[in-house]
Amino acid sequence: MGLSSVTPSTSTASASTAGDVIAARLPWVLLSLRITVFIVMFVWTLDKFVNPAHGMAIFEKFYGIGGVPELAVYIMGAFQLVLVFAFVFGLAKRYTYGLIFLLHGGSTLSSFPQYIDAFNHLLFFAAWPMWGACFALYLLRDADTKFTLRKTQAS
């Protein structure tokens, strides 16, 4: 009788403590995901300004869109720059996190031929966990409050 009456309270306290630990750590985990996704997206954005010919080649090779003018690459880069900064600062999370997820997903899926020839394109596989991180950030966007300009957002 004594053992059964102690067990529920112990497991409840343990569950509460675990929940407290998760609640305390989650914002830090989401911050690390947001910053590391930002770093990748920011470098890809800078590439459009530093080497627009590379951006034009990517549109042709991976999206089948040839003849993209250099000015269009700069304009897309400008929009992407605004998006990645809004994303890293946690602004309009439903939209910025969602767009980052969709853009990275499009990039990941458009690289499908590289996955078939896996051992000659190993670095392309890094896109998959990053896409998972983008998905996690989108789903947990309301809990991503560490160093954001908007702490909460209605879902």
Four-point Cα dihedral 87, 88, 93, 95, nearest 10: 0
Secondary-structure breakdown of the chain: helix, strand, coil percentages, each rounded to the nearest 5: 80, 0, 20
Q: What is the tens place of the pLDDT at every residue in 102-152?
A: 999 999 999 999 999 999 999 999 999 999 999 999 999 999 999 999 765
Residue 69, token pair as written in the block: 């003018």
- For residue 154, pLDDT over 50 is answered with no
